Amino acid sequence: MTMLKLASSRQAALAMLMLSLTACDLSTFVEATDPDIIGVDAISNPTAANAVRVGTLGRFNAATTGGETMFLYGGLFGDEFGTGDTFTQRVETDQRALTPQNGNITGAYRGLHLPRIGAIQAREALAEFSPGAPNWNFGEMFFVEAYMLNLLAEYFCNGQPISSVRNGIEEYGAPLPNAQIFALALAKVDSGLTRVGTATTTNDVRVRNALSILKARILLNQGAFSAVQAAVAAVPTTYVWQQEHAQTARVPGVWSFINNQRRYSVANNEGPLAMNFGTANDPRVPVCTAGQAACAAAGLTQSRPFDSGNTSVPNMLYQLIWSTDAAPVALMSGLQARLYEAEALNRAERFPEALAILNSLRATPPGYGRTIAAMTPLTDPGNAAARRNLVFREKGFWLFGTGHRYPDMRRMMRQYGMSQTEVFPSGNTWQINRAPGYGTDVVFRTPTAETFNPLQPIGPDGAAVCLDINP
């Protein structure tokens, strides 16, 4: 509505201007340009090419840790977050009863494609106008593209169109099976690793480690467990890629939508896997409620969520991993590398080695800027199902709020043979008295916005059609 009003105001102002200038020489009008838009033709030197790279990193931040992204929606869909909102888009996501017209999911979906396209354009611009740019510049853009491709396949239903833009013109892509998208993402990672090579500058090492960790994550998604350890063997646990945030730019999305806006709340024991984020008293996921000293210290005084008048919605459970609007988020880390190794080892029936990794992390917790107290060592629970659940529980607590939990839940069904009711919240207990109960969705479907793609199949209801909606 605001955009329509703004457009109408501009049209009215233009009409008044034209009327006042009817006696003037219209040939003297100078066409205005938008200073905020950089067209393809304007990219003609190394500075402009690098600006495309930097701008892509900004969009990458916005699509991952710096807004209401699939990290939040996946956590809401799974068992990390619960909604404290009145907005239908968030309520139906929490309920696992999605509609294709969900505008919030559409926005996050577009957010995955923007940096993906930007990364391609940045590499092309650097190759043409700054061929002598550091190799890590190119490797970084391969990383961004691969990361977005991987997220698309992790979160959305089987069959995602991968379109592109050439010379300012969109080139539509037909839906690809997710297995093919994972393979494409892995190829981009390998291209990035090749470009960076064995260089030892700080940035080369940073990008090479990020690519290696992402490679291991994609290999897990492909079920290539035996290749995971080799992918991250050289990544130290101390490594971290922190995404920076600030009130003047992008604030951490989890902080914003939980602590600041109270649209979300930390979930507790939501679902059959009993991920008790709210009551575990685990130093990896510190939480508080209004009135507690920790909440008071963080300036969190409101006990009720945004939907404050609905008594069926629980009181706020705040997170303190990111306690301010300037908190950095560890997007890539050696911690992830070790957790990926632990899962791969357990899958290979080498649980003692996996347990050793998990206990090493608990003994010397990698906080990456925040202090995490050492934790009691874990013991072997004694059977395959319990070991699997222990590995995923540790991953869930270590990587809370960073976009890992929902893809892991999906893999529990796809790769480990678990049923929907063994993994996802289900039944009639959703938000106590809010009706109806949970739905049965386990994947995010292709948004209706993709129906503008002439290669996208469309169902009789006008919605985009997935190849399938299996996990």
Q: What are the pLDDT tens digits along the chain (471 aa)? A: 233 233 333 343 333 333 333 344 434 434 444 444 455 567 889 999 999 999 999 999 999 999 999 999 999 999 999 999 999 999 999 999 999 889 999 999 999 999 999 999 999 999 999 999 999 999 999 999 999 999 999 999 999 999 998 877 889 999 999 999 999 999 999 999 999 999 999 999 999 999 999 999 999 999 999 999 999 999 999 999 999 998 888 899 999 999 999 999 999 999 899 999 999 999 999 999 999 999 999 999 999 999 998 888 899 999 999 999 999 999 999 999 999 999 999 999 999 999 999 999 999 999 999 999 999 999 999 999 999 999 999 999 999 999 999 999 999 999 999 999 999 988 776 665 566 788 999 999 999 999 999 999 999 999 999 999 999
What ranges do the domains of the chain cover?
41-197+437-452, 247-327
**Burial track 280-312 (b if 16+ CB lie within 10 A, e otherwise):** bebbbbbbbbeeeeebeebebeeebbbbeebee
| Distance (Å, whole) CA 471 – CA 467 | 12
- Report the candidate in 149, 152, 120 with the shortest Cα–Cα distance to residue 215: 149
- Report the candidate in 280, 282, 364 with the shortest Cα–Cα distance to residue 321: 282
pTM (predicted TM-score): 0.91
Burial-class residue 358 by CB neighbours within 10 Å (0-12, 13-18, 19+).
Answer: buried
| Distance (Å, whole) CA 453 – CA 153 | 18
Q: Angle formed by the axes of helices 202-222 and 334-347, to 10°?
A: 30
92 Cβ neighbours under 8 A, 6+ residues apart: 98, 99, 102, 439
In this structure, the number of other CB atoms found within 10 A of the CB of residue 320 comes to 21
| Distance (Å, whole) CA 133 – CA 46 | 8
Phi, psi at 366, each rounded to 5°: -80, 105
Domain at 41-197+437-452: CATH architecture? Alpha Horseshoe (1.25)
| Distance (Å, whole) CA 167 – CA 39 | 10
| Distance (Å, whole) CA 153 – CA 222 | 11
